[in-house]
Chains A and B, each alone.
Chain A
């Protein structure tokens, strides 16, 4: 059983929901990323999504765009992100790490070389925003053969047929994009999600995480009542940016702890 599967199984047994924070590797600098990852875990993260910065992040809103720019200005690269995962793994063998990013850095490294390096570094899953399943069948097969989960997105525009097709190609969990828009957008519609998420869960045989536009404990609580996992990215990236460097890890930990508490409270209240 993969690390991601066992996390979801244990949470399910405990009646809790997964909290999946996202940070951009190398923001504000490469030295701080491992301490930030440890702070996420200390605050109650179950899985970490680690953003691989790219020069042209088309699916991201301003907060993560700026984070990518800062990381690239500091010399971050896909190879260095793998070094960060390796360093994180030296002190934490339990928390799954999912790399989230865009296709071209992987294309430049070579798909097979990336998969081997990611496995060796201790990566658990890979989400490539601009690799829909039909464009990356070989890559997906390679990830599976290496024991890594290929994680795919579903969106408010996806049909029920698409739910099944995408889930059939993926592993780990399905990442349901909560809104039509970019990461960190403010147009999330909880009523619409309350209609959609149960249909996604009925169609796919794997945990469903919901992300994009969830900004606080209250939003996380609402999503936690519907889905198996909550992803929070832009809000945490903003917390890092707003904090003095030496306070960033502590502030992130405090923020995540607040979300964790709200999620667990909601889970406890759900029969």
Chain B
């Protein structure tokens, strides 16, 4: 698709394809369930009653709209472009994840499903799912790799407080991808009464498009807020990318605004060259098929999925949403990666200069903004999606400084 066609950007196609990416790569048992979900979502997304209820919940339960905050001290310290933060960290539950969970919960209720399941890595999507399950009265089961259960005891307890069952997953690498496998196995077993709330813009169609649509509230607010508060649209929008839901949420409304650079920031872990990272786009990993869609994947030469590494559990995933794969190939978005160390530096900088403790995921986006801001003029505007708050990460950060709680 040539750049001029970005004005009419309308992917995915009816089969859920973003060029060669996306699609519906699942076992036969789930094909009818996905067809049912597509039909329910298509009917709901244009239904004024559904749209109104979604908007009402986002306003009164989540606390939207979230503000855009000018990080003046940090910008002055860096001596270049102005850094603006879209404050998704101020949402109820502390991250952007809840936007999508509310959308899918409303859909589950419409479809008459009494039970919801989810996968989670660090626990943020699990907590958001448990939250909406309590809010709407669903039975809730969250799958979490047993390694992550050990590392994220507080979030496990949070989910239990909210009434969810947390199932530790012992297979494979015992992390997020294995939790996703196990959630798929639950879904295939309980498909008639269960709604699978996927937390990111990956999985089989319609999930990548549906999760994106629920998250575009972020970018749509920015489109209105930027001219009101800052007189114009930003020069660049910067967001971290694991699966990529916060990035798609803020990028998507800006795709037709071709003078706005879209920059996705992946986790370089210990460095791209070390192989210990979670940056399939930046590292030009080979595309393949996993978790229901075709996309860039971290894999070995035999097509086995390899273990990833990032200090941020939310970015520690071997794939990436298929729309990001397409945006990379088309050139409309750029993808870069920052290391664990750079993300930690940004975490501390935001704490000390702005009084904001960011999630380690979001700190990756801040780190890249801090890298490029000094190279740009003081009149340039960098809009960073501050996708979550960092209370959950203080143990990880403390341990890096040799502190044990």
Which A residues are closer than 8 A to B by beta carbons? 54-59, 61-62, 65, 69, 72, 77-79, 102-109, 129-132, 134-135, 152-159, 162, 166, 177, 180-182, 185, 187
- Taking CB as reference atom, which chain A residue is nearest B301? A108
A130 and B172 contact, Cβ closer than 8 Å, known pairs A79-B302, A153-B27, A157-B191:
no
- Not counting A56-B178, A58-B291, A108-B302, a sample of 7 additional A-B residue pairs whose C-beta atoms are within 8 angstroms of each other reads A102-B289, A103-B288, A104-B303, A108-B299, A108-B301, A135-B25, A177-B27
- Taking CB as reference atom, which chain A residue is nearest B297? A104
Assess whether B46 is interfacial by the CB under 8 Å rule. Answer: no
CB pair A104–B189 under 8 Å, yes or no, is no
Assess whether B29 is interfacial by the CB under 8 Å rule. Answer: yes
* Cβ-neighbour of B32 out of A62, A106, A109, A159 (below 8 A): A159
Q: Which residues of B contact A54 (CB under 8 A)?
A: 303-304
* Cβ-neighbour of B26 out of A56, A65, A108, A132 (below 8 A): A132
* Cβ-neighbour of A77 out of B288, B290, B292, B302 (below 8 A): B302
Q: Which residues of A contact B189 (CB under 8 A)?
A: 180-182, 185, 187
Q: How many angstroms between the C-alpha atoms of A30 and B262 in the bound complex?
A: 48
Assess whether B10 is interfacial by the CB under 8 Å rule. Answer: no
Minimal beta-carbon separation of A77 from chain B (angstroms): 4
9 A-B contacts (beta carbon < 8 Å): A55-B172, A56-B177, A58-B181, A58-B185, A77-B304, A103-B288, A105-B302, A166-B28, A180-B29
Q: How many angstroms between the C-alpha atoms of A159 and B29 in the bound complex?
A: 11
Assess whether B229 is interfacial by the CB under 8 Å rule. Answer: no
Q: Which residues of A contact B289 (CB under 8 A)?
A: 102-104, 107, 130-131
CB pair A158–B302 under 8 Å, yes or no, is no
User: Which of B23, B32, B303: most chain A Cβ within 10 A?
Assistant: B303
- The 4 A-B pairs at the shortest CB distance, nearest first, are namely A108-B303, A105-B303, A155-B29, A153-B28
A158 and B185 contact, Cβ closer than 8 Å, known pairs A58-B27, A106-B303:
no
Minimal beta-carbon separation of A51 from chain B (angstroms): 14
Minimal beta-carbon separation of A151 from chain B (angstroms): 12
- Give the residues from 42 to 63 in chain B that come closer than 8 angstroms, CB to CB, to chain A: none
Q: Which residues of B contact A69 (CB under 8 A)?
A: 171-172
Interface 0/1 of B146-189, CB less than 8 Å to A: 00000000000000000000000001100001100100110011
Q: How many angstroms between the C-alpha atoms of A105 and B294 in the bound complex?
A: 13
* Cβ-neighbour of B31 out of A78, A132, A185 (below 8 A): A132
Assess whether B260 is interfacial by the CB under 8 Å rule. Answer: no
Q: How many residues of B contact A (CB 8 A)?
A: 39
CB pair A78–B302 under 8 Å, yes or no, is yes
CB pair A56–B290 under 8 Å, yes or no, is yes
Q: Which residues of A contact B281 (CB under 8 A)?
A: none
- Give the residues from 267 to 288 in chain B that come closer than 8 angstroms, CB to CB, to chain A: 286-288
A78 and B303 contact, Cβ closer than 8 Å, known pairs A108-B286, A157-B33, A181-B189:
yes
Minimal beta-carbon separation of B378 from chain A (angstroms): 48
Minimal beta-carbon separation of B34 from chain A (angstroms): 10
A104 and B301 contact, Cβ closer than 8 Å, known pairs A59-B27, A162-B31, A166-B28:
no
User: Which of A69, A77, A132: most chain B Cβ within 10 A?
Assistant: A132
Q: Which residues of B contact A129 (CB under 8 A)?
A: 27
Minimal beta-carbon separation of B174 from chain A (angstroms): 12
A58 and B286 contact, Cβ closer than 8 Å, known pairs A108-B302, A157-B33, A159-B32:
no
CB pair A107–B288 under 8 Å, yes or no, is yes
- Taking CB as reference atom, which chain A residue is nearest B304? A55
Q: How many angstroms between the C-alpha atoms of A129 and B303 in the bound complex?
A: 15
CB pair A132–B304 under 8 Å, yes or no, is no
Assess whether B192 is interfacial by the CB under 8 Å rule. Answer: yes
Q: Which residues of A contact B171 (CB under 8 A)?
A: 62, 65, 69
Minimal beta-carbon separation of A70 from chain B (angstroms): 12
Q: How many angstroms between the C-alpha atoms of A57 and B304 in the bound complex?
A: 11
Q: How many angstroms between the C-alpha atoms of A180 and B184 in the bound complex?
A: 12
* Cβ-neighbour of A109 out of B24, B29, B31, B303 (below 8 A): B303
Assess whether B344 is interfacial by the CB under 8 Å rule. Answer: no
* Cβ-neighbour of B192 out of A57, A58, A180, A185 (below 8 A): A180
Q: How many angstroms between the C-alpha atoms of A79 and B300 in the bound complex?
A: 13
Q: How many angstroms between the C-alpha atoms of A106 and B290 in the bound complex?
A: 12
Q: How many angstroms between the C-alpha atoms of A181 and B171 in the bound complex?
A: 17
Q: Which residues of A contact B15 (CB under 8 A)?
A: 134
A107 and B31 contact, Cβ closer than 8 Å, known pairs A55-B172, A56-B177, A130-B26:
no
Minimal beta-carbon separation of B254 from chain A (angstroms): 30
CB pair B28–A155 under 8 Å, yes or no, is yes
Q: Which residues of B contact A109 (CB under 8 A)?
A: 303
* Cβ-neighbour of A132 out of B25, B178, B190 (below 8 A): B25
Minimal beta-carbon separation of B35 from chain A (angstroms): 9
A130 and B304 contact, Cβ closer than 8 Å, known pairs A159-B32, A180-B189:
no
* Cβ-neighbour of B181 out of A56, A104, A156, A181 (below 8 A): A56
CB pair B32–A59 under 8 Å, yes or no, is no
A104 and B191 contact, Cβ closer than 8 Å, known pairs A56-B181, A58-B27, A159-B32:
no
User: Which of A55, A103, A107, A132: most chain B Cβ within 10 A?
Assistant: A55
Q: How many angstroms between the C-alpha atoms of A218 and B333 in the bound complex?
A: 59
- Taking CB as reference atom, which chain A residue is nearest B177? A56
CB pair B28–A158 under 8 Å, yes or no, is yes
CB pair B29–A157 under 8 Å, yes or no, is yes
CB pair A156–B31 under 8 Å, yes or no, is no
CB pair A72–B188 under 8 Å, yes or no, is no
Minimal beta-carbon separation of A62 from chain B (angstroms): 8
Q: Which residues of B contact A72 (CB under 8 A)?
A: 304
* Cβ-neighbour of A134 out of B24, B172, B294, B304 (below 8 A): B24
Q: How many angstroms between the C-alpha atoms of A109 and B292 in the bound complex?
A: 19
Q: Which residues of A contact B299 (CB under 8 A)?
A: 104, 108
Q: Which residues of A contact B292 (CB under 8 A)?
A: 130
Minimal beta-carbon separation of A30 from chain B (angstroms): 13
